[in-house]
Amino acid sequence: MLQKLSKAEENYINLENKLSDAEVLSNPEEYARLMKEYKNNTPIIEKYRLYKSVEKEKDGAFALMQEEVGELAELAEAEYYEKKEELERIISELKVLLLPKDENDDKNVIVEIRGGAGGEEAALFASVLYRMYGMYADKMRYKIEPMNVNETELGGIKEISFMVIGEGAYSKLKFESGVHRVQRVPETESQGRIHTSTVTVAVLPEADDVEVEINPADLKIETCKSSGAGGQHVNKTESAIRIIHKPSGIIVECQEERSQFKNRDKAMKMLKTKLLDIKQREQDDKIASARRSQVGTGDRSERIRTYNYPQGRVTDHRIGLTLYTLESFLNGEISGMIDELIAADTAEKLKESSDEN
């Protein structure tokens, strides 16, 4: 590992030199590519340099232990063991930093929420989840852009698609894909019986243009009037866009912008993202199941979480974590759960890396 880090530091220094080269500075695309690589490697190199510094201090303390006697020797011995423990911690942190990074982690995401089993109650909880993710995005200083929504008369959401824009959005939200189950007494239930309903969530990394090529001949593009809650604009102009990708049968719609061109642009982003998702799932299927993370990021048929209103708890079934903070959780305080999911995923990857070595 240390040889690998030494080589990485050499490459890092070369990157620094390239970023100050006049030829690179005059090429925005090349500069952006190198800067991204430089930024991604900075935490690793900084941690490696800290390792070398602490190792030097440890060696100095060990030398003093051999040379000195009495109180000075005792102080040197204490420093030696202190630095030894610090080195062990740094090595553990380096192992995490050296794990292969998900290339999608820094991307924006498109989130789709759909009411599942439970009819109107499921649709009402879908709106609760949409609000939850919106409040979480605000706390993270992410931006939410609605793309398409199909509401019910009682204020629920049959389905909604929206983009979350912000650095690292996918790394934080990718574990939200799956079936979310809610247990509560519906407002329409006169006898106070607890009902169980489900909502599905899909989190897809936004596709770059270079990742997905679409033949215009494969598309059927339709315009229609926006639908939804009132307003003077609704049903007066054909600004809503529906795109059908004939080879895959994928249909995407966008009606949240007044401009047909903006809706078309968003719909194309959604289509490319869905096609990239299919492509990545096909690649993932080729990976042996033993090598997959136990946390997982996306079997949409998998029940991942239960929200129990009577007990005020939320349970994530993948990592067996239960929090009795349902109200604050639904108000966007989901960082603690997300951090635990990331930690579990990292631990599993470390185990796999250890087994391979």
Mean pLDDT of 76-93: 93
For the cut 80, the answer to whether the pLDDT of residue 235 exceeds it is: no
Q: Band of the pLDDT at 334, cuts 50, 70, 90? A: very high
What pLDDT is recorded for position 81? 94
Tokens representing residue 114 in the block: 């759909």
What pLDDT is recorded for position 75? 93
What pLDDT is recorded for position 293? 44
What pLDDT is recorded for position 2? 84
Question: Sheet holding 219-224: strands in order across?
Answer: 219-224, 240-245, 250-254
Domains by residue range for the chain, with CATH? 2-97 (no CATH), 109-210+297-350 (3.30.70.1660), 216-283 (3.30.160.20)
For the cut 60, the answer to whether the pLDDT of residue 95 exceeds it is: yes
For the cut 60, the answer to whether the pLDDT of residue 234 exceeds it is: no
User: Who wins on pLDDT, 161 or 277?
Assistant: 161
Is this structure's pTM higher than 0.75? no
What pLDDT is recorded for position 283? 60
What pLDDT is recorded for position 338? 96
CA-closest candidate to residue 254, choices 152, 156, 150: 150
* HEC secondary structure over 98-157: CCCCCCCCCCCEEEEEEECCCCHHHHHHHHHHHHHHHHHHHHCCCEEEEEEEEECCCCCE
What pLDDT is recorded for position 176? 95
Rounded to an integer, what distance in angstroms lies between the CA atom of residue 282 and that of residue 280?
5
DSSP type of residue 291: G
pLDDT digits (tens, 9 = 90+) for 1-60: 888 899 899 999 999 999 999 998 999 889 988 998 898 899 999 999 999 999 999 999
The answer for residues whose C-beta is within 8 angstroms of residue 94's C-beta and 6 or more apart is 1, 5, 44, 47, 48, 51
For the cut 60, the answer to whether the pLDDT of residue 255 exceeds it is: yes
Look over the chain and give the mean of its residue pLDDT values, rounded to a whole number: 85
Give the whole-number percent of the chain exceeding pLDDT 70: 87
What pLDDT is recorded for position 272? 86
